[in-house]
Chain A
Amino acid sequence: MKKIIISISTILCVTVCFAQLNVTLSVNPRPSAALSDWSFRKDVLTIIVTNQSPVGTPISAKLKTEIRTTDGTVVATTDIGKVAVSVFSNGSTTVLSAAEVVNLSTLIFKGSYQPKLNRTGKLPAGNYLLVVRYYLPDGIQPLSEERRQPFFLATQQLPVLILPAENAKLNADIAQTAITFRWTALNPAPQTPARYRIQVFEILQNQQAVQALRSNQPLLDKEVVGTTQFVWRPQLDLKTDSLRKFIWSIQCFDDKGEPVASDNGEARSESKTFMIIDKPAADRPGKLINYGL
């Protein structure tokens, strides 16, 4: 009889708690592909936990997180023994971000995912589910409903600059009226039209190319939305005696004006240099075109 009473009491207690911890999960459908970035990015996910009980003892709980593929295969799961206990006081609301929810120090990645994560810091591109649920500190008895949200992971491939090609020599007579820039699109395409910032810097005498990019004021600093070509009217006298060299790059922004996630942090493409020559075409031994792969 005593065992039955204890069991019924436990079930009642769990049921009460289960009802008392309300969890709301929202996930950015296309978060940064680098999982270590999640610890400081506020735009990845949010969990709102509410202890609905107006009175009684605070609830102690542990959060279990799983990353699954859309067919249900578990990619990563929380080692519940390593998770710290959270205490939710009565009537309180707690907001958690990715740093607390997807904690890489408590997640165990299955199979080939761990080596891939060690090599690239990322999971294979594709659709995933984030699944969260609170448990009693024993890690067995659930305290909340399971919440799941889909998201898509893929490294944003930054643009590759097409024209002018690396070390291209442009005719000054044409270049001082118009220079056409082309680059490849941000891939995968963002949900809103991609915003590209094209910048052109002059490489001054005694400067290295990347040095000019990191130190000079750009002669062209223009935002282009949704297209991968820009015709620049330099409005410069380029037919000077000295060789004029330039370096250009593309920076990519999201719809909030923030740089898209990238390895270099600036969302800046590999740059390319080009130069202007003021020589009649007959003097040229042949224009070398090199896309600089």
Chain B
Amino acid sequence: MSEFISPTLSYSLLSPILVVFAGAIIGVLIEAFASKSVRPIAQVSVAIGTLVLSLVQVWRIRSSGSTSAAMGSVIIDGPGVLLQASILIIAIIAVFLIADTENFAAAAAAIPGSPEERESIARGQQVTEVFPLTLFAVAGMLLFPVASDLVTLFVALEVLSLPLYLMAGLSRRRRLLSQESALKYFLLGAFSSAFFLFGAAYLYGYSGSVTFAGIRTAVVGGTGNDVFLLIGIAFLSIGLLFKVGAVPFHAWSPDVYQGAPTPVTAFMAAATKVAAFGAMLRIYYTSFANAEWSWRPMLIGVAIITMVFGSLVAIAQRDVKRMLAYSSIAHAGFLLTGVIALNKAGLDASIFYLFAYGIATVGAFAVVTLVRDSAGEVTDLNRWAGLGKRSPWVATSFATFLLAFAGIPLTSGFVGKFSIFSAAYESGSKEVVIAGVLSSAIAAFFYIRVIVLMFFSDPLEDATSVVIPSALTRITVLFSLAVTIFLGVFPSPLLDLISNIAIFIR
């Protein structure tokens, strides 16, 4: 019988993750014991306090690289720290949006249309479980890009996914749609998790190890059975590509984006992408790097299909949230070019792109939460007509985010696109760059159509109104706007920072 080895954990290096877990548990306790009147404010303060504290911890460990944070299961290195910081910043501004509890169901457990639901609304009940759920999801996301064995990776995947499935079903209005989307997300997510595990099992069979380092050694050695490796990579990739919403594993994203409460959509769209691409970059850049013959052609195909499909289908959308969903699919394709690049420039570019895109996405959804009529948010694009006339600042902000998505110079999106495409070109994947440029041209069409609608169309009679943004929402929009423009004009500080510290420890 083998001897039991007590685990040695470096709490200091793990502190960003642990702090968030602790905050989440405190949130659960508040939900259980605090009185109704203090609960919302307490939850918001705990959530934001936790995230800020975690960000401080990330700052503290920014230059300490280590593979032994949790006995080889977690690697703290430059890319990991940068991605964690990005996730936390995105989470903070997303929590500002979630703080507007108007969007969330009064009692999420009640069946839609049931007497219980009516009663809970009449009593002015408002559960705030969304905050601890967010924190749990954030904790999983923080772990995802720094996990360095397949088991930890899987645990992180589930920790980040399960709260998201619940959060998607919390919408106050159109609850059936919201619950349907949650169920869809859960079922498809469960499938993809199964694929992921299946792939992990094959990789273990191939290399005899679940750690990334072990798999890497086996790949470099090349002694294992290549069929196992191929099956393993393929199924693991399905699990990861599902999370980032790449075609053909994208089917959930338009429905979930539309059904989920908009602040949750903002959080999910931005932060999940950062975490999932972070993990993908680590696996492909370290473990699978020497087996690029086996996965690069497949990823090139997926990337091209994803960007073309996302851009084309977005043109046909009449709902702003669905449009943004397809736009995010197209962006997943652009981001995959960074994985394909498989060079230092590609890693730097991907991290920059993820941060810039995440911030702009939260900003765009923040604007969506502001456009409402008496029955809640208005997501029908036709009814956004003439928004520029009634609320020029809101429309201008949204237009700026759209221009950033379209990659117009002097916005962060352009720098991101330029750097990621040039990295892919440098690695010789010219076909991806050409497909990327052409689908950017297609994508520009539907972004511009929304701008036309907002600025050049006359408002309809049943005018939608723009609510006066709460202070927190206002901060989110202004912060996102400032970052989007600043990174477009002066990207140097961030690019230099990334290129100095973004080096994977293997």
Whether A associates with B in a native complex is no
Chain A interface (Cβ < 8 Å from any Cβ of B): none
